[in-house]
Amino acid sequence: MPEFDTTLVWLRRDLRLDDHAALYHALKTSRTVVPVFIFDTDILAALPERADRRVEFIWDSVAALKRELETHGSSLVVRHGAAQQLIPQLAAEFNADAVFCNRDYEPAAITRDAAVAVALAQAGRVLRDYKDQVIFEQAEILTQSGTPFGVFTPYKNAWLKKLTPFYLTPYPVNRYLSRLAQLPPQPQPTLEEMGFSRTNLAALGVHGGSAGAQTLFENFIERMANYKLARDFPAIKGPSYLSVHLRFGTVSIRQLAFGAHGMGGAGAETWLAELIWREFYQQLLWHHPYLAVGRAYKPQFDAIDWPNPPGHFEAWCEARTGYPLVDAAMRQLNQTGYMHNRLRMVTASFLVKDLHVDWRQGERYFADKLIDFDLAANNGGWQWAASTGCDAQPWFRIFNPITQSEKFDAEGRFIKRYLPELAGIPAQAIHAPWQLSNAMQHAYGAMIGRDYPAPIVDHASARARTLALFKTATGEME
């Protein structure tokens, strides 16, 4: 006998039907299952832009999921409002015995879910949550002394040691789809009705939903063997581009990890390691929720008094630093909502260690702009670059933006894609165009200070000041 008569499945960052933990458990234990999604105003109201690529991606993915459910005689109940109030209301509306969802590890989400659980319990209903967006969660991977890992490589080794086929096995959702509630097609509020507008996702070729994720994954499988060699070069097609699909759960982490683990070889192993980095940062945030409120993982670095020189942050945001690789990367972010992973490290290092701006300002800017923004990964990445975090870049190792440019965009192809004003400059000079004579600048059609900014700082001088900042804060020497 089913345990529940009617159950709601509350979809959040898991916008798919296949291999879905909460949906599987709900279908298996209930006579009738009603899928619901809330465009949560507690989250949406905080977004600074009304044309937000993430909201559009979610909207498209919700619409695709609703259409898929309708092929099974069901639909997706979509609402716009505060989830904390709407979920208990919907449970009452459908006379549901329970609400099932997949766990979220961000502090605000944990607080929200706890409040929903209390409201449901007061009405005699239950909230059940499940692990879905990671292979291993919370305290499943600990050191031999039972403490959280603070260094990635031992964590990765423990992760791989614990991995068995069981953890990569998909949930057989299709076996139980007949238990979906038979519903007429449900309305979905438009972006405009919610106060948002469309962006340039269609022009960028970014497609939401499970179908968009599967197309990318099938393409990446053919390139995975070359991932280790190709991933650091922004001008070539090296990454999987699946990060936004992982963020919103239009693809299963088990499918991706199974694909990488099963293929083997250096490329697949390197990509699997990137998936493990994602889980490393997730468990880090769960164990240390203070990371979500702007505190450094290493408390001594909260003592750094960042100079935040006037105009530096704005120049970085607006791609006016005078360092071509940095500016090209920032234009990529501003124009597409995506930034190549190598360039996330370069631009973050540059903001903190060349421009001497507090890393939290950059973290917030990425949070506003990245379509694949994930709190744990974004915080982890910024603290890595700022040398304030867990297993971070040592503070005395500072990326040279010119060297990074010469190494990872040697021909200047990426730079010229986003900085067409430098298109006439030959590859060997494009990484530091201010070093060209005025005559050469004129000949190449790019006068520094007129057509493209002069460098906002001198890297060598900035590096020396950064070292002094860290030495003062830590009392350490190189």
> Where do the H-state alpha helices sit in 240-374?
243-248, 253-263, 266-287, 312-317, 324-336, 341-349, 359-369
Residue 321 near residue 346 (C-beta atoms within 8 A): no
Which residue do the tokens 């953890």 mark? 167
Burial (0-12, 13-18, 19+ Cβ within 10 Å), 408: middle
Q: At 117, give phi and psi (nearest 5°).
A: -60, -40
Write down the catalytic residue from 10, 277, 316, 384: 277
Write down the catalytic residue from 70, 137, 306, 400: 306
> What is d(CA 255, CA 323) in angstroms, rounded to the nearest whole number?
40
Is there a catalytic annotation at residue 200? Answer: no
- Give one word for 45, left, alpha or beta, with left for phi > 0 and alpha for psi -120 to 50: alpha
Is there a catalytic annotation at residue 382? Answer: yes
Tokens of 209: 């939903």
Is there a catalytic annotation at residue 476? Answer: no
Is there a catalytic annotation at residue 277? Answer: yes
Q: At 75, give phi and psi (nearest 5°).
A: -165, -175
Q: Which residues, including other chains, have CB under 8 Å from residue 196's CB and lie 6 or more apart?
A: 44, 50, 51, 52, 55, 56, 59
CA angle 418, 322, 318 (to 5 degrees): 60
Is there a catalytic annotation at residue 193? Answer: no
Write down the catalytic residue from 359, 378, 379, 384: 359
Write down the catalytic residue from 106, 137, 269, 274: 274
Write down the catalytic residue from 106, 341, 400, 434: 341
Write down the catalytic residue from 59, 382, 384, 395: 382
Q: Which residues are catalytic?
A: 274, 277, 306, 341, 359, 382
